[in-house]
Structure 1
C-alpha cells in the first residue's frame, strides 16, 4: 500500500513538471537522457573487446528488451494491422539504424565519447534536410539557426 502511495506521489510530481508540455516533448527528453547514458555505458562495455562484438552483444539485449516491451504493451490488433508498406519503411529504417550503430561503435571504440556523440548528433541536421525534402516538412528560420549552431558546435568540438 505504501509503495502504491509513493508511486502515486511521484506521478503527481512528474505531472507538475510536465503540465502543459506536449507528451512527445517529454518522451523526446527522456530519449535524449538515455541516449547520453548509452554512449558512456557502451564505452565502458567495449573495454577489451572489439566494437563489432560490443555492438552485437548490445543489440541482443535491445532485441530481447524490445520484444518484452511489445509483448506487454502492444495490443494484438495493432500487430494484425501491419501492412507491407509498414514493413518496407520500418525495415529500411532498421537497416539505416544498423549501419549507424556499426559506424558509431567503430568510432566509439577509438574516439572520445563526447566527440563521437556530438558528431553523431549532427544527424539532427541530416534529418531536418531529409524531412524537408522527402516529407515536405517546413524549415523555419529558428530551425535554420539551430542547425547552424549544431554544425558550428560540430566544427568546434571535432577539430583538434
Structure 2
C-alpha cells in the first residue's frame, strides 16, 4: 500500500487542515457572532463538498442508504454541529493555541468510546500515547 492511500497520510492532512481551521476561524470570527460564523462556514462546506462529490462522480442515491446509515450519519452530523458551535465559541473567548489542543482531547475520548462501544483494543503503547495527549491537555488547561 502506498503512503498516499493509507490512513496515516490522510490523518496528517486532516491535522494540517484542522490547524489551519483554527487559525483562519480565529481571524474570521472577529467582530461577529460565533454561531453565525459557524452557520456561514457550514454553508460553504456544503457547497464545496457537493461540487467535489459531483465532480468526482461519487454521488449516490440517498434512498439506497439503510436506516442504520441514516441514523448514525445523522447523529454524527448533530455531534459535528455541536462540536463546531462549541469550538467557535471557545475560539472567540480564548487563544487558538490553547483552544485547539484542548479540542483534540477528543482523541482521548475517541479511544475510550471505541474501546467501550466498538470493541477496539488499543495496545499498551497506544494507551501510553493517549495518556500523554491527556496529560498535555491538562497542562494546557491548568492556570498558571
Query: Aligned ranges for residues 75-154 of structure 1 at < 5 Å?
Result: 75-76=58-59, 79=62, 81-154=64-137
Instruction: Say which one has the larger Rg.
Output: 1
> Which 5+ residue runs of structure 2 have no aligned equivalent?
none
- State the alpha-carbon separation in 2 of the partners of residues 20 and 134 from structure 1: 29
- State the alpha-carbon separation in 2 of the partners of residues 63 and 134 from structure 1: 30
Structure 2 CA distance for partners of 1:89 and 1:19, relative to 1, 3 Å: closer
Alignment length (residue pairs): 143
Of 110-119 and 74-83, the range deviating more from structure 2: 74-83
Q: What is the RMSD of the two structures over their aligned residues, measured on CA atoms? A: 1.8
TM-score, normalising length: structure 1: 0.82
Q: Which runs of 4+ in 1 moved over 3 A?
A: 18-22, 74-81
Match of 2:40 in 1: 57
TM-score, normalising length: structure 2: 0.91
What is the deviation of 1:81?
A: 3.6
Task: Pick the aligned partner of 2:21 from 20, 38, 41.
Answer: 38
- State the alpha-carbon separation in 2 of the partners of residues 50 and 20 from structure 1: 40
Are the equivalent residues in 1 in contact too, given 2:23–2:96 (CA < 8 A)?
yes
